[in-house]
């Protein structure tokens, strides 16, 4: 795919949800909640802190199918994941579900551990923190990061978030 993510908060004005937007494909591996937590534990300092928050139930993790994303949350196929009110929602069909979890987990960390407010969390600064955590995780797992350098990542954030 390689086209990268498109982010934004567009269509749900004022909901306070922080969205991550990208591509999905049918037939990807389906992860259980426990498998997802295990796959981020011990990789980076941030991802390990996120795993702890999830294991201790300080933050909820919901692995949601396409139908529920669409019916319950009224979100289109391009929304991969979001964080809202202490709950992380990831799309089971997302090709980048583990990275999505780290991204949303950083928003959850900023909320539940640092007590940052909603406006901070969905600001460019909040997104920079989430995208940086995701990038660090991708590099630590020996993969090519979504953005080839930090400049590309900044450009994406500037373009898609206010």
Give the binding site for Zn ion (CB under 5 A).
18, 127, 130
Q: Which residue has the tokens 């590099």?
A: 139
User: Of 132 and 141, which has the nearer Cβ to Zn ion?
Assistant: 132
Q: Least separation, in Å, of the C-beta of 126 and Zn ion?
A: 7
- DSSP summary character for residue 125: H
Ramachandran bin of 4, using left for φ above 0, alpha for ψ from -120 to 50, beta for the remaining angles: left
Q: Please work out, in degrees rounded to the nearest 5, the angle formed at the alpha carbon of residue 92 by the alpha carbons of 109 and 63.
A: 50
Minimum distance of Zn ion from residue 130's CB (angstroms): 4
CA dist., res. 79 & res. 38, Å (int): 24
Whichever of 84 and 92 has its CB closer to Zn ion, that residue is: 84
Q: In terms of DSSP bridges, do strands 87-91 and 60-64 run parallel, antiparallel, or are they unpaired?
A: parallel
Q: Based on CB atoms, which residue is closest to Zn ion, 9 or 31?
A: 9
The residue whose Cβ lies closest to Zn ion is 130
Comparing CB distances to Zn ion, the nearer of 21 and 36 is 21
Taking the complex as a whole, the smallest distance from the CB of residue 27 to Zn ion amounts, in Å, to 26
């Amino acid at each position: 795919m390689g086209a990268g993510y498109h982010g934004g908060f567009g269509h749900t004005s004022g909901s306070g949800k922080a969205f991550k937007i990208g591509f999905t494909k049918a037939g990807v591996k389906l992860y259980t909640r426990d498998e997802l937590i295990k796959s981020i534990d011990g990789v980076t300092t941030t991802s390990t802190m996120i795993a702890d928050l999830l294991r201790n139930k300080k933050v909820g993790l919901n692995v949601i199918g396409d139908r529920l994303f669409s019916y319950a949350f009224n979100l289109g196929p391009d929304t991969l994941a979001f964080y809202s009110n202490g709950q992380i929602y990831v799309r089971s069909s997302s090709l980048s579900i583990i990275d999505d979890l780290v991204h949303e987990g950083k928003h959850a960390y900023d909320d539940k551990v640092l007590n940052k407010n909603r406006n901070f969390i969905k600001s460019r600064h909040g997104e920079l923190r989430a995208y940086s955590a995701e990038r660090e995780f991708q590099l630590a797992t020996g993969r090519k990061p979504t953005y080839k350098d930090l400049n590309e990542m900044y450009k994406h954030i500037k373009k898609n978030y206010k």
